Amino acid sequence: MLKSISFPQMFGKVNTKVVADHEATLQNLKYLLSSEQGELLGDPYFGVKLKRYLFDQNNYVLKDILIDEIYTQVATFMPQLRISRKDIEIEQDGTTLNCSIKAINLLDYTTDMYNIVLLTGEERI
């Protein structure tokens, strides 16, 4: 059973709030993809180098680089997920960058689709 501390409501009146299984997997995947490499003090390799490519030319090469980066980080830091590079899709919708990942959750061997917003137009860097 996979457990993780709930975010952003981490604390109750007398206890720490915890999420489990599929909800914990989704939450941990969101943390991984929204973290920039070097932000986590305990592990400088945790996270995706998304800000590095923020102002690069928008083309298919950049899309492949981002997919490779996401695949490498998920395969490294999320052992409960079995993914294939071809099951990661990145789509741009106006000023929003979305990522869809189809993966097998090894907790109960079910196939899940994870949809995560990587960037929105309102974010300031």
pLDDT band at 24 (very low <50, low <70, confident <90, very high): confident
> Rounded CA gap, 111 and 123, in Å?
31
Specify the higher pLDDT residue, 98 or 9.
98
Question: Whole-number mean pLDDT of the chain?
Answer: 86
Lowest mean pLDDT among 32-36, 50-54, 65-69, 72-76: 50-54
CATH topology of domain 3-119: Nuclear Transport Factor 2; Chain: A, (3.10.450)
Mean pLDDT of 35-47: 87
Write out pLDDT tens, residues 70-109.
999 999 999 999 999 999 999 988 888 899 999 999 988 9
pLDDT for res 122? 66
Among residues 58, 36, 31, the alpha carbon closest in space to that of 47 is found at 36
> Rounded CA gap, 84 and 75, in Å?
9
8 A C-beta contact, residue 32 and residue 77: yes
> Rounded CA gap, 28 and 30, in Å?
5
pLDDT for res 85? 94
> Rounded CA gap, 46 and 31, in Å?
10
Q: Is the pLDDT of residue 125 over 50?
A: no
Domain residues of the chain, as ranges?
A: 3-119
Q: Is the pLDDT of residue 7 over 80?
A: no
Among residues 105, 102, 101, 103, the alpha carbon closest in space to that of 116 is found at 101
> Rounded CA gap, 58 and 60, in Å?
7
8 A C-beta contact, residue 72 and residue 48: no
Q: Is the pLDDT of residue 124 over 60?
A: no
